[in-house]
Copies of this chain bind each other. A is one copy, B any other.
Amino acid sequence: MSGLESVNQIDISSLKVACKDCNLYQLCLPLGLENDDLERLDSIIKRRRPVKRHAYLYQAGDAMRSIYAVRSGSFKSFTLTDDGTEQITGFSLPGELIGLDAISTGQHISTSKALEMSHVCEIPFEKLEELSSVIPGLQRQLLRIMSKEIAHDQSAILLSKKSAEERLACFIMSLANRFEARGFSSREIHLTMSRVEIASYLGLAVETVSRVFSRFQQDGIMSVNRRAIEIKDMDEVHNLAGAKPSSR
């Protein structure tokens, strides 16, 4: 297979899938839309483009013109400290929208970077706003998605009150749930992010993340082989994740 053919294949696979044929339909923005409405939404989606591993979707400070729906792959969102350290605020999976935090200021406040070869649908925000005032179902779904993001972020705020074990269990649990909703196994998880990235997101040291993974494995809760996780005792992960920090 030549390089050129390969490029064509990518174009085909990434450009030709309309919302109505997308398997993420019921997780993504088009949920609830039918026929005409769906096609109108489809028509404003400027292009479905591939994003290479480690490529930026946008950077903090960029003007926000579009939001993005992840079609395949995964992304991390982060800000940088003065000394250049990444502060990861979240990970995005297929069907999730990226860039919603920038609507209010019109400028991206965080940077979004692909963790692996990924594809996104670019949705020009101005057109989306216009369209959603004409299509009630679209407005509805946009509000619901944003509300879900708020709810998710608030549960992430609770992380700062939890122990290292609880944090990691919450993280794995969240991934398992999200994978399951996407039709993947919730037991076997392939992590696309490094230990450093997990640690940054959870507010822990890398070494602590490693150690807690090892402990989980020793306790038979999950098997851990670098980025391949297999959850053996889902109930226990659930318990650990749900277990709230001790009170006095």
Contacts and interface: CB of A to CB of B under 8 A. Distances in A.
Interface string A206-227: 0000000000000000000000
A154 B103 contact: no
A154 B154 contact: no
Contacts of A124: none
Interface in A69-104: 77, 79, 81-85, 87, 89-90, 100-104
Given A247-B83, A247-B84, A203 B160 contact: yes
A200 B158 CA distance: 9
Contact of A104 (B83, B100, B129, B145): B145
A147 interface: yes
B203 A161 contact: yes
B84 A144 contact: no
A49 B132 CA distance: 32
A22 interface: no
A144 B64 CA distance: 13
Nearest to A134: B133
A146 B203 CA distance: 25
Interface residues of A, number: 53
A137 to B, nearest CB: 10
A140 to B, nearest CB: 7
A142 to B, nearest CB: 7
Nearest to A156: B157
Interface of A: 77, 79, 81-85, 87, 89-90, 100-105, 109-110, 129, 132-134, 136, 139-140, 142-151, 153-154, 156-161, 167, 200, 202-203, 242-247
24 contacts: A77-B154, A79-B158, A82-B242, A82-B244, A84-B247, A85-B244, A89-B157, A89-B158, A100-B147, A101-B147, A101-B150, A101-B151, A102-B147, A103-B143, A103-B146, A109-B154, A133-B133, A133-B134, A143-B146, A153-B153, A153-B154, A153-B157, A159-B160, A160-B167
Given A82-B243, A153-B153, 18 more contacts: A81-B244, A82-B242, A83-B244, A85-B244, A87-B244, A90-B154, A100-B146, A104-B145, A104-B151, A129-B136, A132-B133, A149-B150, A153-B157, A157-B159, A159-B160, A160-B160, A160-B203, A161-B200
